[in-house]
Structure 1
Amino acid sequence: MIQRSALYALLAGAAFAFGLPAQAVEFTVGYQTVPTPSQVPQADGAYEKATNAKINWRKFDGGAEVINAVASGDVQIAYLGSSPLAAAASRKLPIETFLIAAELGTSEELVVRNGSGIVKPQDLVGKKIAVPFVSTGHYSLLAALKHWKIDPKKVEIVNLSPPNIIAAWARGDIDGTYVWDPALGKAKESGKVLITSGELSKLGAPTFDAWLVRKDFAEKNPAVVAAFAKVTLDSFAAYNKDPKAWAANRTNIDKIVKITGAKAEEIPGVLAGSGYLSPDDQARTLGEPTAKALANTSAFLKEQGRIDAPLPSYAPYTNAKYVKAANSL
């Protein structure tokens, strides 16, 4: 069996053959705290080896912050949810989605506080629910209220970042939250789940997380983007081969805890509740399906007054060529 270090060396060699620059480039990657298999190679330094690059990893608490950093040019590659991605594309930012990071299931949930008096959806009326605005959690919360035929104006929806949600929950300032780990895990300690993103997906409001890249960076460094995609896809393949065995490996879980701050005991369930697409499924999805999903999400965001207007087409904001190139590495 080839050792991990040898695999990294082979991957790096293949990336050089694909056209990586002889001298290391430097770029910044924006990541978030949703647990994912790709955080294992992130912790191992595999992305740096494969891309022959100096990577500055920058943590963000929500998609709105990611959008601003990408728009300013401070971040070249970023992880964010489908709702902020749709908002960014609607602003015509110079970006393209090059990989689906996860199809969301139980990694984001609406949790209500024990003792809040919320037993059923209609009990949300008049309650204070926290969510990071223009996030997948925000989109899902509004979609859930629409499904339950609850006027969002009758719910006190407040804009808080995940760290501030944790603090507000601890103080008893909020009755519920739609969020992801580690804030999700903290809320579930003294709350109950009212609905999950996976359940909403079945009701016609799917959400996903994605990796995007600034077009100017991708045009200058296509091999770097392909190598980045390769490492991510390999982490998905390792997990999908035997999810239970992968999650039973404490080393994997410890690395995700280090990156995200999520509770170790909850990570296996979060991973199992999301979907990680194969290269072939990525290639099929990173086209019309993704463009359509962004269009549908943008229409909803317009309806909620979160964007000015949807674009005629979101096809320019999704690109499968880097995933396809990764298959040759």
Structure 2
Amino acid sequence: MSFTRRRFAGLTASAALFALTASMSAHASDLTINIGYQPIVEPSRVPQADGTYEKATGAKINWQKFDGGADVIAAIASGSLDIGYVGSSPLAAAASRELPIETIALVGLISEAEALAVRGVTKPEELVGKKIATPFVSTAHYSLLTALKHWNIDPKTVNILNLRPPEIAAAWQRGDIDGAYVWDPVLASIKKSGTVLATSADVAKWGGPTFDAWIVSKKFADAHPDAVATFVKVTGNATAAYRANPAAWDAKSPEAEKIARLTGAKQDEVPELLKGYIFPTLEEQAGADLLGGGTVKAVAETSAFLKEQGKLPSTLADYGPYVSPRWVEKATKLSF
């Protein structure tokens, strides 16, 4: 079963979504999709809160919250998740181990949304001997290692601790750590009493770009391609809505309230936190700079760096099977 613009031509967006849902319901009413998300401030939290994914796919969705990409990857590997939200570093690690997954959409290119926040440290060389926390095998971990390399600091001279974001918040509050490379909303909290030494926008300029993405198990994708494409379309619609009028997603907006509710971020901080990412549209994602080529190169380079740092035993000659524009291309042909 496929859905095209021709099939729903002439319908309003809401009518098209209703028609799509009705058409799919007979086929998907018995389908349950297990989705692992992370409490990250980004546009697709809105359709998640609204139940739009369920309406569009006609499926029951079991949403599961995770605090890091490594845990999402483990859940997909175990078969308990069908679709998951991960950063580029866990994605690279999973692909390098030839886990049967595929990137279906990019969420955002990480800019100010991840950073190294510290206290009692005023310059990079003072990190030596300090306790710096980050979730291992995350984009933040990769960015921390890239920053240390840029500063010519041996990671072995820094006491790098493996903590998840909630644990980082607690450890920072207790004064157990000197700093952390982490993402919002925990980053926004610790920045209030800390100093930012580097952001992921800085690290990107130093040769270590990072991004967040949705991935799918290939088994599920092969069995339910229409559900996957519809999921990508709903996600892309949320990005497009934000991109069209970011000012409308202000602190008092319904969008900010829904994002805050699902992420734990403070509602009045949501508009500023959204600025920490660059959110590409589905059309932009399909281009040569992203899923059409650039993302494969970024995953390959991330994998090579992780191997160099002893975090991966080996890398692949080709990461193309794990990153493809086909899902965003399929999604752009859907009209709702």
Normalising by the smaller structure, the TM-score range is: over 0.9
Render the CA deviation track for 1:155-181: whole Å, top value 9, x for unaligned.
110001111111111110000000012
| 8 Å contact from structure 1 (residues 20, 51) kept in 2 | no
User: Of 310, 314, 319, which residue of structure 1 is paired with 2:324?
Assistant: 319
Name 1:130's counterpart in structure 2. Answer: 133
User: Of 24, 33, 39, which residue of structure 1 is paired with 2:39?
Assistant: 33
Indicate how the Cα distance of structure 1 residues 16 and 312 shifts in structure 2: closer, same or farther if over 3 A, else same: farther
User: Of 173, 187, 211, which residue of structure 1 is paired with 2:176?
Assistant: 173
User: Of 293, 301, 325, which residue of structure 2 is paired with 1:288?
Assistant: 293
- My pick for the range that moved more, 182-191 or 74-83, is 182-191
Structure 1 distance, partners of 2:140, 2:305, is: 14
In structure 1, give the amino acid aligned to 2:246. P
Deviation at 1:198, TM superposition (A): 1.2
Name 2:6's counterpart in structure 1. Answer: none
Which runs of no fewer than 5 residues in structure 1 stay unpaired? Answer: 1-5
Deviation at 1:287, TM superposition (A): 3.0
| 8 Å contact from structure 2 (residues 28, 59) kept in 1 | no
Structure 2 distance, partners of 1:20, 1:300, is: 47
Structure 2 distance, partners of 1:278, 1:20, is: 30
Matched, 1:259 2:262: yes
Name 2:8's counterpart in structure 1. Answer: none
In structure 2, give the amino acid aligned to 1:210. A
Q: Identity percentage over the alignment?
A: 55
Aligned-residue CA RMSD (Å): 1.6
In structure 2, give the amino acid aligned to 1:310. T
In structure 2, give the amino acid aligned to 1:40. V
In structure 2, give the amino acid aligned to 1:300. F
Render the CA deviation track for 1:92-144: whole Å, top value 9, x for unaligned.
0010001001100111111002xx2x001111111100000000000000001
Structure 1 distance, partners of 2:26, 2:227, is: 6
| 8 Å contact from structure 1 (residues 43, 255) kept in 2 | yes
Structure 1 distance, partners of 2:15, 2:170, is: 44
Which runs of no fewer than 5 residues in structure 2 stay unpaired? Answer: 1-11
Name 2:5's counterpart in structure 1. Answer: none
SS at match of 1:247: coil
Name 2:281's counterpart in structure 1. Answer: 278
Name 1:212's counterpart in structure 2. Answer: 215
Structure 1 distance, partners of 2:318, 2:21, is: 33
Matched, 1:142 2:145: yes
Matched, 1:309 2:286: no
| 8 Å contact from structure 1 (residues 8, 49) kept in 2 | no
- My pick for the range that moved more, 19-28 or 178-187, is 19-28
Indicate how the Cα distance of structure 1 residues 258 and 9 shifts in structure 2: closer, same or farther if over 3 A, else same: farther
- My pick for the range that moved more, 123-132 or 196-205, is 196-205
In structure 2, give the amino acid aligned to 1:289. G
Name 2:63's counterpart in structure 1. Answer: 57
Render the CA deviation track for 1:24-62: whole Å, top value 9, x for unaligned.
410110001110011011000000001111001100001
Indicate how the Cα distance of structure 1 residues 17 and 289 shifts in structure 2: closer, same or farther if over 3 A, else same: farther
Structure 2 distance, partners of 1:256, 1:278, is: 19
SS at match of 1:286: coil
Name 1:66's counterpart in structure 2. Answer: 72
Question: How many residues align structurally?
Answer: 321
Structure 2 distance, partners of 1:256, 1:47, is: 15
SS at match of 2:250: helix
Name 2:7's counterpart in structure 1. Answer: none
| 8 Å contact from structure 2 (residues 145, 155) kept in 1 | yes
